[in-house]
Amino acid sequence: MKAVVKDRPSNQAFAGAFAEASLLSMTQPPTPHHFQTTQPRELLACVEHAADLAGRAAEDHGAWRWLVIAMTLGVQNACLCALDHGDEYGTKAMTRTDAREVKRWTSNGRRGPEPFAIREPRIVSPLELLRRVGDSYFLRPPYQLPLNRRITAAFDDLVDLRNTFLHFSEDGWSIDLREVPPLVIVSCDIVRHLAVTQPIYLRHAGPRHRERVSAALDAIEAAMRDYPGIDETAEA
């Protein structure tokens, strides 16, 4: 699948939301109008929303756009949940520059001003997050994702499609929907390994997190495999 839009949105806002929520939770209780979240909670929200969208996608073609966006975010959150476990400041998901700045500060006894990267971390791209969860340097076995070219290519295509959907087009979009289910199924495989088969972060998640993620992934995969006209060979 060829991407229509090549540029990738910045992940800074994506990471900043979690940093701000964490800071607020430590300094003041939330007001009734303040939204707070965590990465495991966001992961669960993404896949459960995606399961609802997948169930409607055959009849409602508009659901595909949001399904692609939800599954891309789901993979990002699954990667972040895994990489951030045991990493106080989340340096494993930061850009190398930010990670070096934080590590230099901590190795120096945390003297001096807190690095800006702690409050506003710059998270690497979705594809780099995927590469890192497949690298034993960042995520040790058995939690490490068994990454290969097929998985990388499929997620790359999904991210390109997500980027296309995030940009307004006066002419709208035209896509063969039969190309999308195999990409979604591969994304389910990624999330399943990191959140169901070999989750490293469960002590930070809510009750029945693993079971709910698994049920949502089952529903998504079933809907994708049942989509009329899907080319099953695309998954091979």
Boundaries of every domain in the chain: 38-86+126-235
Residues 128, 23, 191, 217, CA torsion sign: negative
What pLDDT does residue 37 have? Answer: 80
Half-sphere exposure of 73 (CA within 13 A, CB side): 23
Confidence at residue 119, expressed as pLDDT on a 0 to 100 scale: 83
Q: CA–CA separation, 116 vs 79, rounded Å?
A: 23
pTM for this prediction? 0.81
In this prediction, residue 24 carries a pLDDT of 44
- Nearest CA to 121 out of 97, 104, 85 is that of 97
- The reported pLDDT for the residue numbered 6 is 36
Residues (pLDDT < 50) of the chain are: 2-10, 12-26, 233-236
Determine the pLDDT at residue 167.
78
What is the radius of gyration, based on Cα positions, of the chain?
18
DSSP 138: T
Predicted confidence (pLDDT) per residue in 191-212, tens digit: 999 999 999 999 999 999 999 9
Per-residue pLDDT, 92: 92
Side-chain-side CA neighbours of 221 within 13 Å: the count stands at 15
Distance CA 174, CA 171 (A): 9
Q: What is the pLDDT of residue 177?
A: 86
Measured between alpha carbons, how far is residue 9 from residues 3, 70, 78, 107 in Å? 14, 15, 19, 32
CA distance 174 to 177: 9
45 vs 38: CA distance, rounded Å? 10
With contact defined as beta carbons under 8 Å apart, do 187 and 154 qualify?
Answer: yes
pLDDT of residue 9: 42
